[in-house]
Structure 1
Amino acid sequence: MKNLLLLAIVVAIFSSCTPTKNKLKIKKVTVKAPFDMPAISYPDFSDCPAFLITDFGAAQGDQQKTSKAIAKAIDAANQIGGASVVIPEGEWLTGTIHFKSNVNLHLQKGAVLLFSDNPKDYLPAVHTTWEGLECYNYSPLIYAFECQNVAITGEGELKARMDFWKNWFSRPAGHMNSLKRLYELAGKGVPVEDRQMVNDTANMRPQFIQFNRSENVLLDGVKITNSPFWTIHPYLCKDVVIRNLQVYAHGHNNDGVDPEMTQNMLIEDCVFDQGDDAIAVKSGRNQDAWRLDTPTRNLVIRNCFVRNGHQLLAVGSELSGGVENVLMDNCAVADGASMFHLVFIKTNERRGGFVKNIYVSNVKADKMREGILGIETDVLYQWRDLVPTYEVRLTPISDVYLENIKANNVKFTYRILGQREMPVKRVGLTNVDADTIREERNIAENLEGFTWDQ
């Protein structure tokens, strides 16, 4: 009763503020690109009130009180049309955080939001995805659904406990059977609300941060440590700015950022150190993506540094909605990093979609396990024999351009494996090379319109 009264008082006070003092601003950032790149909108909460979670009952060492306090503060910020929910210095235990529109989660310097690894803290199940297929699963640790003007900012840290989640890294029989069931449900067009994937054996780990069907999204300044699954997942979003982040996540499937069916996005000045791809550009899988029909479009990545991972830039293999207009510029990979490719575009006969207008420039790297550029059209991993192909749709890939790319040691410079029925078209390399090439320098099958200016 006391907390409800406090919430009512806070809302009443700030509802009476003058509009100019309380109103959040929408800023725009203009980005140059070799394609028509619209200005990207993002929220600015600098003139909005700040709600300290301790004023809503948060207590260090008490997960239940802190979780409830954050939810109440988010509700209050939403009700007045815009405010920052402030996490003060210290470690704060919490369960899932669900955003509402016009809210900034702000972590002060020295603040650590430590997320539980008890799956029950991420129930009830929410409308989310698993590797490109929509379903109801455990809530992402931080989740926004159909929100506008949302942000995570500050100098603090978001950290996931991993003691339990790491037990789900291996894919036992029960997990694989649930993946097959989800694949079949999606392939047959079963409604998403009937794809309930929380059970004793599915073990489908949630994403750390998922902005789902949201607009005007900002992530700025925070450190992110550990993740049960994909780390940052903008899904079906518009206008997203991600900048000045430090990401460290070395669990299974720990991509850094997975833009999926998201349009108008900037990723800049970030440091990535993860167990999988740094930037993994996706657009849904198979029938689900064909139904949603939303390509990932207008993505710029610049001035980022990668300490470790699989690929610097991956496109696919979940690309059935299509990917176009991607620029990566002025990025670097640390010496000694154990990367596979700098750029890897991957698909298979089930995906459909398309890939076009991919530009990568001014990148430096050390030794690569594979090469600088890989394009492969028959990447199925464990799915090759796990489930059947319900419908064959090939992926047209064209207009891929690399410029000023240097690696020290690679297996090959490029390996491009198109399909006879649908060759890869128009690939251009300018000033792309490596000091040492361990095996065959250049590999190409079913490639049309290739140029290489050294």
Structure 2
Amino acid sequence: MDIQPSRRRFLAIGGLAAAAVALPGTPAFADAVDGLANGSSEDPWDRADRIVRSINRPRIPARTVSVTDFGAAGDGVTDCTQAFKDAITGLAAESGGRVVVPPGRYLTGAIHLESRIELHVEEGATILFSTDTAAYLPVVFTRDGGIECMNYSPFVYAYGKHDIAITGKGVLDGQASNEHWWPWTGKTQFGWKPGMPTATADGAALEDMANRGVPVEQRIMGDGHYLRPSFIEPYNCERVLISGITLHNTPNWQLHPVLCTDVIVEDVVASSHGPNNDGCDPESCTMVLIQGCTFDTGDDCIAVKAGKNTDGRRLNAPSENIVIQDCEFLKGHGAITIGSEMTGGVRNLFARDCTVDSTELNEGIRLKTNSLRGGFIEDVHIKNVTMKQVGDAMLLVDFFYGEGAGHGFNPVVRNVTLENVTVGKAKYPVYAVGYADDHISGISLRDIRVANAANPSVIENCDNVTFENVVVNGTPVTIS
């Protein structure tokens, strides 16, 4: 069966016949998408509509089993790891279907999905993930901070699969806390105390291995090391759906699809306030739709990524053709962020009809990079966004994040547009500062209202900046 959207969304677009001439994987579609970066005069929002129409949902057979049929008990105490494994592998052997988690509290270790499997967590069901690190061994092929390695398994994981889904109105609770996983940051606010281990040495060792070209299979972390896994991570998968679920207490990034094609994240509540608890981080993915979600996070709400530094240049895999719509952003750092792990490049990102409904978010649109990341950010289009308040800037383009300037891989940032954006309060409307030898190119603002800005925009080393109908503190602002 085709998994349908949990609620219908009607787009103001033309007939479906247009999709037939521009499907993913066809020359027509590739030419249409490439046209935006090559100066196409087509309205970018027509392009966004085409991307949405063209993303393929997983096809899951209409076969259903309950995890309780395989010995799972919803008492919050019984270890259900084997029951989840048996249900998934048994159903996969019959060409796939839906594994249902009924109401109750189910304790488990890592859950690994197979092709054509849907994990359906019913309302009233909670999957509790073990706090025992051994429950996420053996190590698997993954990424940490944009660098490939062998590490603890993400809590829900799939590698090289197709047609997979995680659905339902239930809860996935990682049980991470100031006692489990979070202290590895080395930060006292997350439970670290002097004498406890941290991830600092492991992170440096992993980057060194990447710089030296050590094969990924030899970059072994896991037991005895302190790099925290992501919560949900489909890696190198096709046709992925994550719909309806609520996430709590995650060890690291919450939703982290990597090298995936045709990804839909819809109606998800990503609510976790631990360290690096980004809401959704599509990395080196293409054809991604994020819609109807609520982000209440300990870091960036959505952060689009594409590998880091030497490893990112080795893989050279961009994130592209991404549409974000009808989302709500609460606490966090940036609402919609690109980077800083964006060495493979990010292009063709569209965000519309979103709300920043918080007084505790730092930036609205946040592009962060530096001269060690390199790569590019191009063709980013934002419209119809309301921001109650941001602590820093409505739009931040940050070339000085992390390592900053002088490392030989200057980034390219060009063609960023904001249209019909309303902000209640901000420190800056725009803060965009390029390098003297590497200018930002093409920032366009139209129909922008910032009711209360503490400071004027800061725009330096930028070319082709245009303001049209931009009003700040009640006064029209132009660029000379």
Same fold (TM over 0.5): yes
Q: Deviations over 1:231-268 (max 9, x none)?
A: 00010000001111111110000000001000001000
After superposition, residues 145-184 of structure 1 pair within 5 angstroms as: 145-162=159-176, 163-170=179-186, 174-184=198-208
Tell me the SS of whatever aligns to 1:234.
coil
Q: Deviations over 1:386-431 (max 9, x none)?
A: xx98x62111110000011111111111011111222110110011
**Per-residue deviation at 1:367?**
2.1
Q: Give the ranges of 4+ consecutive aligned residues of structure 1 lying more than 4 Å apart after TM superposition.
A: 26-32, 62-65, 171-174
TM normalised by structure 2 equals 0.84
Tell me the SS of whatever aligns to 1:181.
helix
Q: Deviations over 1:309-329 (max 9, x none)?
A: 111111111110010000110
After superposition, residues 316-395 of structure 1 pair within 5 angstroms as: 316-335=339-358, 337-380=359-402, 392-395=408-411
Moved more, 262-271 or 32-41: 32-41
Tell me the SS of whatever aligns to 1:91.
strand
Tell me the SS of whatever aligns to 1:256.
coil
**1:137 maps onto 2:151 in alignment:** yes
CA distance in 1, matches of 2:396, 2:336: 11
Q: Counterpart of 1:451?
A: 466
Is the contact between residue 260 and residue 285 of structure 2 (CA under 8 Å) also seen in structure 1? Answer: yes
Amino acid corresponding to residue 336 of structure 2 in structure 1: L
Tell me the SS of whatever aligns to 1:43.
coil
Tell me the SS of whatever aligns to 1:121.
helix
Tell me the SS of whatever aligns to 2:47.
coil
**Per-residue deviation at 1:30?**
10
CA distance in 2, matches of 1:230, 1:115: 15
Tell me the SS of whatever aligns to 2:206.
helix
**1:185 maps onto 2:209 in alignment:** yes
CA distance in 1, matches of 2:279, 2:257: 11
Q: Counterpart of 1:67?
A: 81
Q: Counterpart of 1:245?
A: 268
Q: Counterpart of 2:285?
A: 262
After superposition, residues 305-316 of structure 1 pair within 5 angstroms as: 305-316=328-339
Is the contact between residue 77 and residue 102 of structure 1 (CA under 8 Å) also seen in structure 2? Answer: no
Structure 1, unmatched stretches of 5+, are 1-23
CA distance in 2, matches of 1:352, 1:192: 22
Tell me the SS of whatever aligns to 2:270.
strand
Q: Counterpart of 2:56?
A: 41
Inter-CA distance 345–41: structure 2 relative to 1 (3 Å threshold): same
Q: Counterpart of 2:247?
A: 224
Q: Counterpart of 1:402?
A: 418
Moved more, 426-435 or 27-36: 27-36
Structure 2, unmatched stretches of 5+, are 14-44, 188-195, 470-480
Inter-CA distance 444–173: structure 2 relative to 1 (3 Å threshold): farther
Is the contact between residue 26 and residue 41 of structure 1 (CA under 8 Å) also seen in structure 2? Answer: no
Q: Counterpart of 2:324?
A: 301
Q: Counterpart of 2:71?
A: 57
**Per-residue deviation at 1:433?**
2.9
CA RMSD of aligned residues (A): 2.0
CA distance in 1, matches of 2:272, 2:148: 24
Is the contact between residue 247 and residue 273 of structure 1 (CA under 8 Å) also seen in structure 2? Answer: yes
**1:111 maps onto 2:134 in alignment:** no
Q: Counterpart of 1:9?
A: none
**1:213 maps onto 2:236 in alignment:** yes
Tell me the SS of whatever aligns to 1:235.
coil
Moved more, 226-235 or 171-180: 171-180
After superposition, residues 11-50 of structure 1 pair within 5 angstroms as: 24-25=1-2, 33-35=45-47, 37-38=50-51, 39-45=54-60, 48-50=62-64
Inter-CA distance 75–194: structure 2 relative to 1 (3 Å threshold): same
CA distance in 1, matches of 2:393, 2:383: 16
**Per-residue deviation at 1:366?**
1.8
Is the contact between residue 254 and residue 277 of structure 1 (CA under 8 Å) also seen in structure 2? Answer: yes
Q: Deviations over 1:69-99 (max 9, x none)?
A: 1101110121111200110111111111011
**Per-residue deviation at 1:35?**
3.2
Q: Counterpart of 1:21?
A: none
Is the contact between residue 74 and residue 103 of structure 2 (CA under 8 Å) also seen in structure 1? Answer: no
**Per-residue deviation at 1:168?**
2.1
Q: Counterpart of 1:14?
A: none
Is the contact between residue 52 and residue 85 of structure 1 (CA under 8 Å) also seen in structure 2? Answer: yes
Is the contact between residue 156 and residue 222 of structure 1 (CA under 8 Å) also seen in structure 2? Answer: yes
Is the contact between residue 230 and residue 257 of structure 1 (CA under 8 Å) also seen in structure 2? Answer: yes
Tell me the SS of whatever aligns to 2:199.
helix
Amino acid corresponding to residue 177 of structure 1 in structure 2: A
Amino acid corresponding to residue 148 of structure 1 in structure 2: H
Amino acid corresponding to residue 408 of structure 1 in structure 2: G
CA distance in 2, matches of 1:199, 1:120: 8
